[in-house]
Structure 1
Amino acid sequence: MIKILANDGIDPIGKKMLEDAGFFVDTNNIPQDELPVKLQEYDAITVRSATKVRKALIDACPNLKLIGRGGVGVDNIDVDYAREKGIGVYNTPASSSLSVAELVFAHLFTGIRFLQDSNRKMPVEGATRFNDLKKAYAKGVELRGRTLGIVGFGRIGREVAKIAIGIGMDVIAYDLYPFNPEVDIVLGGGIAVKASVKTATLEEIITNSDFISLHTPFVGKALFGAEELDKMKKGVGLVNCSRGGLIDELALIAALDSGKVSFAALDVFDNEPTPREEILKHPKISLTPHIGAATGEAQERIGVELASLIIAHFNKVN
């Protein structure tokens, strides 16, 4: 029997699919430092973002035949090395796109109406400084008619564009690779419409956007540092629900303090799981703890997709 360690968990429906197909699935978490020994008892491992499967772990577990990533990014897996060793590596890029896109807009609506700061201060000062707080948060803006720049126009970027167009934003998009600017939008009642975004260079995104949302992998250095932030419109809002490190956090703090950036929204951080204190306590930053795919619907889709990929892999091998 093939034994699978779902070290960061798996949706019950996906687990049942695997068990019905004859696999043994263990959902007990094994700490990272114990994996080199204990993972040798399994044929496959599935992870999310917490567990790392690097070269040393792969070398320590010659029994390993498959690595599954429940989610989009595979930054925590040495993919090329694993495949060189004949290990199948799979992820689930389509399953969480909508959930991440909705979180982007939760952050955008939070930022334009100062909810991140209001929700901190109202419980403490609402009864004594109500009118002062009302005045402090009186200069909100609307998203309709504003320009949203999307950096990275893959599955998640496209879902973000659909929501933006639906609420009346102008969307410009950039990607390293050519892409189809047309998107299919499904409205209430099953009504489907087609719309297009405007393609742009990264420089045009930086200089022309009122808000910018990032949807690219981390490439070893910050995509937005002090130089890029300085070129942006005064009062720009930034959202990063993609990968920590895409925005230079110290440069971001300086831009927030100067007013160059009106607010930032971060679901990912440089040094997870211990983000820097200046980020966590900044009144102009909306914060979530890497929960882009953390909806029941997305987790079910991820579990089903991952289970299907694992079953297909071992059926092919056998």
Structure 2
Amino acid sequence: MAPRVLISDSLSPAAIQIFKDRGVEVDFQPNLGKDKDKLLEVIGQYDGLAIRSATKVTAKIIEAATNLKVIGRAGIGVDNVEIPAATAKGIIVMNTPFGNAITTAEHAIAMMFSVARQIPAADASTQAGKWEKSKFMGVEITAKTLGLIGCGNIGSIVADRAIGLKMKVLAYDPFLSGERAQDLGVEKVELDELFRRADFITLHTPLTDKTRNIISAEAIAKMKQGVYIINCARGGLVDEKAVREGLDSGKIAGAAFDVFTEEPAKENVLFGAPNLVCTPHLGASTEEAQENVALQVAEQMSDYLINGAVTNALNMPSISADEAPRLTPFVRLAEQLGSFAGQLTETGIKGIRLEYEGAVAEMNTKALTAAALTGVLTPLLQTVNMVSAPAMARERDIHVEEVRREQMGAYETYIRLTVITERQERSVAGTVFADGKPRIIQVKGINMEAELGPHMLYITNEDKPGFIGKFGTLLGQAGVNIATFNLGRTEAGGDAIALIEVDGDVPARTLEQINALPLVKQVKLLKF
């Protein structure tokens, strides 16, 4: 059955066509996002939801979205989506961070020019029949220092344009490497140094608890006399009252704002301040950007619903369309290893270590780790998947460690998963053979080779004659057929492990009888 997508905001006809061409059924209702009750009523029918900013995807909507797999936001900001609620339900939330980056960067540069030369006020004055040439004295951009707070997609484009305008560019961004800064031609600095040295400051960072009011009264006090501030990112990054005081006192020579703490901004403490340029959140408002993000979100959602490829997800590792086919069997292996270990773990989990060796170490291990955590946590939590598992592990203070190394052992590539509890460490390793099927290759340090089926018996026993005969007899008496039988041992007469695939459930009475056999230490029915 074809996946169904609801478009609840206005999206271009070309985007709708992309969905149709990719085999996705589309329901285009551009005004539905504004009707919360109607959206709540119908959302359960859809696999995907494509939105802009008008649709508010609340926890209540997400709870009613019984079939929803992906929410796609045409644009960068996802303030209108309750991501934790989506994550808990295993719904991927995607945005399109690159589609409007150029447009937003250009707007920031345009705002910088506007405030530097007082263009809006000069325009209004001139059109009113005044000729106030001396009133609108501006400043040059050339040779001035621009301070970027945030140097990601948009910030780096602003840096490139500013360097072209012969500005010196400083950048504060904790995630910016020295090498990347060098490539961009910017100087990486700490925030206080940026405040001290910059003639113009422009913001290009998401709004988080750490960045809220990053431009505060205290920050403004550290800035140059006559600084210019441009904000085309998010309203809450700036203490608007402090900026108003700075404009009134002349500490700030000019400010240009495209975003506000409350939007739509019908009233604002900034309005009416001297040399203030304001626009109504136009950062992404060009025909090119609106078309780009619409096409991008349609491609991304279709890729996920049809091929399982994950791009620009905010709550799950990305899986490209190219790597999805190669990664899929290893995702299945990682989940099976996790499930195997999770079903055998009866005490609280302190940590999970994943070792990737050989070719798999070069793959997308974030996605594989998410799959492994899903397997481990499912027996404990039931409703968990690749989207929610990493968050759930963090919430439970489970330390997750990834180790990647080149091929060392007999197998070309394998994954080993170790569960660390208060009492012990238990590890299981597996690989994917040429047939694309996952195999267990080691349990608790004991080598064996086994394919996992829907119903498996896991038995640890002493390696002495008579066990297999007695065990087989008990299963025969219960009418349980053995599909495969796999054995491994440390040494002759030492500890042994049996992994047996059976054709259906094993009665509880039979499990008790097997457990009561003299040589058996543990028996467990595992389901995959």
Normalised by the length of structure 2, the TM-score is 0.54
Give the corresponding residue for 1:244.
Answer: 235
| Residue 181 (str. 1) matches residue 181 (str. 2) | yes
The answer to whether the Cα contact below 8 Å between 1:7 and 1:46 also exists between their aligned partners in 2 is yes
Shift in CA distance, 140/317, structure 1 to aligned 2, threshold 3 Å: closer
Q: Please give the alpha-carbon distance, in whole angstroms, between the structure 1 residues aligned to 2:251 and 2:266.
A: 22
Report the structure, 1 or 2, having the larger strand content: 2
> Which secondary structure state, in structure 2, belongs to the residue aligned with residue 291 of structure 1?
coil
The amino acid of 2:4's aligned partner reads K
Matches within 5 A, 1:84-99: 84-99=88-103
In structure 1, the partner of 2:215 is: 224
The alpha-carbon deviation at position 43 of structure 1 amounts to 3.0
The answer on whether the counterparts of 1:116 and 1:283 sit within 8 Å (CA) in structure 2 is: no
| Structure with the greater alpha carbon radius of gyration | 2
1:28/1:72 CA distance change after superposition, 3 Å: closer
Match of 2:288 among 276, 297, 306: 297
Report runs of 4+ in structure 1 exceeding 6 Å deviation.
none
- The SS at the match of 2:235 is coil
Aligned position for 2:303:
312
**What's the CA shift for 1:112?**
0.7
Q: How far does residue 42 in structure 1 lie from its aligned partner after superposition?
A: 3.3
**Partners of 2:83 and 2:300 in 1: CA distance:** 16
Aligned letter for 2:282?
I
One-letter code of the match for 1:203?
D
The count of aligned residue pairs is 301
User: Normalising to structure 1: TM-score of the pair?
Assistant: 0.89
Determine which structure has greater relative contact order: mean sequence separation of CA pairs < 8 Å that are 6+ residues apart, divided by chain length: 1
Could you tell me which residue of structure 1 aligns to residue 146 of structure 2? 148
Deviations 1:186-223 (A, max 9, x none): xxxxxxxxx51110111111111000110111124311
1:28 shift after superposition: 1.8
Residue-by-residue CA offset, 1:259-304 (whole Å, 9 max, x unaligned):
1111111111111113434433334221111121111222222122
Separation in structure 2 between the aligned mates of residue 262 and residue 282 of structure 1, nearest angstrom: 11
1:89 alignment partner, SS class: strand
The structural deviation recorded for 1:47 is 2.0
Q: Which amino acid aligns with 1:279?
A: L
Greater displacement, 4-13 / 152-161: 4-13
User: Counterpart of 2:255 in 1: which secondary structure?
Assistant: strand
What percent of counterpart residues are identical? 37
Structure 1 residue matching 2:55: 3-state secondary structure: coil
Correspondences of 1:194-213 after superposition (within 5 Å): 196-213=185-202
Q: Aligned with 2:106: secondary structure? A: helix
8 Å contact kept, 1:55–1:82? yes
| Secondary structure of the corresponding residue to residue 279 of structure 1 | coil
Q: How does 1:1-318 map to 2 (within 5 A)?
A: 1-22=2-23, 23-30=25-32, 31-34=34-37, 35-124=39-128, 127=129, 129-130=130-131, 133-137=132-136, 139-179=137-177, 180-183=180-183, 196-220=185-209, 221-316=212-307
Q: Name the aligned partner's letter for residue 30 of structure 2.
A: N
Q: Report the residue type matching 1:145 in the other structure.
A: A
Between the aligned partners of 1:32 and 1:108, the Cα distance in structure 2 is 38
Q: Secondary structure at the match of 2:245?
A: helix
Looking at structure 2, the residues matched to 261 and 60 of structure 1 have their Cα atoms a distance apart, in angstroms, of 49
Q: Which residues of structure 2 form unaligned runs of 5+?
A: 310-528
Would the alpha carbon gap of residues 91 and 118 (structure 1) be closer, same or farther in structure 2, given more than 3 Å must change?
A: same
Show structure 1 runs of 5+ residues with no match: 184-194
- The amino acid that maps onto 2:185 is S
